[in-house]
């Protein structure tokens, strides 16, 4: 139960996972059990603290992950209108069968307000959540930039359009 609880909280974008658990990192990191907080931020950037959520949010998300597929979840989540203000907990999602979703796991920002972010994914069942590397920019990988003029996000296995970024209805007012 504890492992499932960790996965649900993490997938939901409640970034308290790093406080009591660890995740597997891909590619260039030699410590496979480092927490997200141990991933270095590129020079000139600082992490933006994540907000915690209530027990009611956890109950809501337990239901979502029990009964929703990527097809239904894509319809339930709300579009994010400004990709450059990407926030922890938001989701890149392609609804369908097969579909896929990636969670924005962490955010950092520089003095000019430009944001970079980490993406996490898992396959079914969601028991091995890991941070994905950035195949387009090895200099900042595993971080991704949100201030680039691209209209798509290339991950190791999936390509998302920036308009496929969604947020949870409970977090919509915080965009």
Euclidean distance between CA atoms 145 and 138, whole angstroms: 12
Who contacts 5 (Cβ-Cβ below 8 Å, separation ≥6)? none
- Give me the pLDDT at residue 21, please: 36
- Give me the pLDDT at residue 31, please: 38
Residue 162 class from Cβ within 10 Å (0-12 exposed, 13-18 middle, 19+ buried)? middle
Count Cα neighbours of 123 within 13 Å in the Cβ-side half-sphere: 3
Q: 23-37: per-residue pLDDT in tens?
A: 343 444 443 334 677
Mean local confidence (pLDDT), 151-171: 90
Euclidean distance between CA atoms 168 and 172, whole angstroms: 6
- Give me the pLDDT at residue 98, please: 86
Q: What DSSP state is assigned to residue 165? A: E
Residue extents of the structural domains in the chain: 2-174
**Of the candidates 73, 137, 140, the residue with the CA atom closest to the CA atom of residue 102:** 73
Question: Please, what is the end-to-end C-alpha distance for the chain in angstroms?
Answer: 32
Q: Are strands 130-131 and 24-25 parallel, antiparallel or unpaired?
A: parallel
Euclidean distance between CA atoms 71 and 17, whole angstroms: 26
Distances in Å between the Cα of 94 and the Cα atoms of 21, 26, 75 are 27, 22, 10
What tokens does 124 get?
Answer: 């079914």
Mean local confidence (pLDDT), 73-85: 90
pLDDT > 90? residue 62: no
pLDDT > 90? residue 13: no
- Give me the pLDDT at residue 73, please: 85
Q: Are 45 and 56 within 8 A, CB to CB?
A: no
Who contacts 175 (Cβ-Cβ below 8 Å, separation ≥6)? 80, 81, 82, 85, 87, 167
Q: 102-150: per-residue pLDDT in tens?
A: 989 899 999 999 999 999 987 765 556 789 999 999 999 999 999 888 7
Mean local confidence (pLDDT), 58-85: 80
């Amino acid at each position: 139960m504890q492992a499932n609880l960790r996965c649900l909280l993490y997938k939901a974008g409640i970034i308290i996972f790093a406080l009591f658990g660890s995740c597997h990192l891909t590619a260039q990191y030699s410590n496979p059990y480092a927490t997200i907080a141990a991933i270095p931020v590129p020079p000139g950037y600082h992490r933006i603290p994540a907000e915690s959520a209530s027990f009611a949010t956890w109950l809501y998300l337990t239901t979502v992950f029990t009964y929703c597929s990527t097809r239904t979840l894509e319809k339930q989540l709300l579009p994010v209108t400004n990709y450059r203000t990407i926030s922890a907990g938001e989701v890149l999602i392609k609804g369908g069968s097969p579909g896929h979703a990636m969670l924005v796991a962490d955010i950092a920002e520089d003095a000019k307000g430009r944001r970079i972010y980490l993406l996490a994914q898992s396959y079914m069942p969601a028991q091995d959540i890991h941070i994905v590397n950035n195949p387009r920019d090895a200099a900042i990988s595993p971080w991704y930039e949100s201030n680039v003029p691209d209209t798509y996000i290339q991950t190791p296995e999936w390509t998302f359009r920036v308009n496929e970024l969604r947020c949870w209805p409970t977090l919509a007012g915080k965009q």
